[in-house]
Structure 1
């Protein structure tokens, strides 16, 4: 089973930059999308063989998530059981017989105290949500989690220490998640691989010099570790300031695929 995750930085924009061709070439079973930046009716996207699910932010042109999947889920849920935090369209959960699949666009903590407080509240509520799901069946979480966990996960850690996405609080919360029965699948397979980034600031021509951050993840329940056959970052795929990340799982599959 092949899974992809991609912060597209505007789904309407990236459709004009070869998005459908990327989906066709990569042929994922499920694809989690972040930062769709649209509302219902603003895009008529044709993806043969895929069911499409969206969670739009209340604010126009902001945030938003989507999932494209070859198999209809047993159930679908938008949110994290925290209504006060759910107006930005940041998660979609699909339930399948053997696992939950979640796409997530975590809040950016920004540069003001109010947004950092929102991020800390989000982390607490989201981890409680993941922990609850994990008691029922394994969890596969993907998305732009807006945190570089370790120094190895960004090009200039000393320069960016304390910046949004690399604060002590955000990193601590991610560590707490990993200490509570979850794994960072890419770092589990590649513990010492530097220079592996998934986001580059459009300013400063950062992608050309690979001055990036690894803030896009597949995080799974620890008990899925034996099923992991491949983890990858796909920097050659263009169209966004992020690139897709990939997780392949063996011994797992979807049900009721659509006829192409």
Structure 2
């Protein structure tokens, strides 16, 4: 059985819904499961045509602590056995960052993982090099997610997609040397992905593409970064090692516009 999955940080689902690029992409029915991140909306605020995409069930997590912030959604043609919104740990609930579907063959997580936030300022109001306000929360969130995924993995494999807000290796961003002290490429953040992959989670894109350079999924809106391909690969599909031999294809849809991110996808042969 072939299953096709897609993931896209849409940077505001209400804004992207008006864009032809999004409309064309979302109208496709080639994906069995679609994960969206940074939806920035309550379900009731999202156009009905999106919520009720023909042939799909939809599931939404929205931020309760701050309106118009964060948020995730999943659209699935495969009926899940169960659905869970947010992580079990109350400390990391409220921002609508996780939608978890249990399917017959695997657990599926769609995540919009936290970014590091604004820089920490010293007593003179100047940024402290390499220190960011939300990095401790971000790393705690990752730790909570990892522990939960490992517990669920005892019963069946894990598939996780989404915006991880981390570029793992130097090959995963255009300008690594100038971003050593930028959140998203801090060593503590990269160390998590080192640990994650060492624990048996496969970066499906690298599994297929190897060390090909120039592949990114996010570009700043500034300085014509996308046109120049000065980007970061921070959107991923990981699968636990039990599914490694099921990875048929993984790619980045760099020519799909509408957001500062582009979709990434995965095909599994189960």
How does the TM-score come out when normalised to structure 1?
0.94
Once residues 173 and 44 of structure 1 are traced to their aligned partners in structure 2, the CA distance between those partners, rounded to angstroms, is 37
The Cα of 1:160 is off from its aligned counterpart by: 0.6
Residue 60 of structure 2 corresponds to: 54
Residue 259 of structure 2 corresponds to: 240
Once residues 114 and 156 of structure 1 are traced to their aligned partners in structure 2, the CA distance between those partners, rounded to angstroms, is 23
Do the aligned partners of 2:14 and 2:47 also contact (CA within 8 Å) in 1?
Answer: no
Once residues 114 and 147 of structure 1 are traced to their aligned partners in structure 2, the CA distance between those partners, rounded to angstroms, is 16
Q: Give ranges in structure 1 of 5+ residues lacking alignment.
A: 252-260
Once residues 141 and 119 of structure 1 are traced to their aligned partners in structure 2, the CA distance between those partners, rounded to angstroms, is 17
Give the secondary-structure state (helix, strand or coil) at the position aligned to 2:231: coil
Residue 121 of structure 1 corresponds to: 140
1:14 to 16, 21, 30: 16
The Cα of 1:116 is off from its aligned counterpart by: 1.2
Once residues 240 and 45 of structure 1 are traced to their aligned partners in structure 2, the CA distance between those partners, rounded to angstroms, is 21
Once residues 45 and 268 of structure 2 are traced to their aligned partners in structure 1, the CA distance between those partners, rounded to angstroms, is 34
1:196 aligns with 2:215: yes
1:157-203, CA deviations, whole angstroms, 9 ceiling, x for partnerless residues? 00011201000110001110111121111112222111000000011
Which residues of 2 match residues 152-167 of structure 1 at below 5 A?
Answer: 152-167=171-186
Runs of 4+ in 1 over 3 A off after TM superposition: none
RMSD: 1.1
Once residues 14 and 120 of structure 1 are traced to their aligned partners in structure 2, the CA distance between those partners, rounded to angstroms, is 29
Once residues 9 and 179 of structure 1 are traced to their aligned partners in structure 2, the CA distance between those partners, rounded to angstroms, is 31
The Cα of 1:26 is off from its aligned counterpart by: 5.8
Give the secondary-structure state (helix, strand or coil) at the position aligned to 1:84: helix
- Once the two structures are overlaid, the 10-residue window that deviates more, 159-168 or 108-117, is 108-117
Residue 258 of structure 1 corresponds to: none
1:40 to 29, 40, 43: 43
How many pairs align? 251
Structure 1 residues 26 and 239, CA, compared in 2 at 3 Å: closer, same or farther? Answer: farther
Once residues 154 and 26 of structure 1 are traced to their aligned partners in structure 2, the CA distance between those partners, rounded to angstroms, is 31
Residue 125 of structure 2 corresponds to: none
1:215 aligns with 2:218: no
1:28 aligns with 2:31: yes
Once residues 266 and 48 of structure 2 are traced to their aligned partners in structure 1, the CA distance between those partners, rounded to angstroms, is 24
- Once the two structures are overlaid, the 10-residue window that deviates more, 105-114 or 77-86, is 105-114
Residue 83 of structure 1 corresponds to: 90
How does the TM-score come out when normalised to structure 2?
0.90
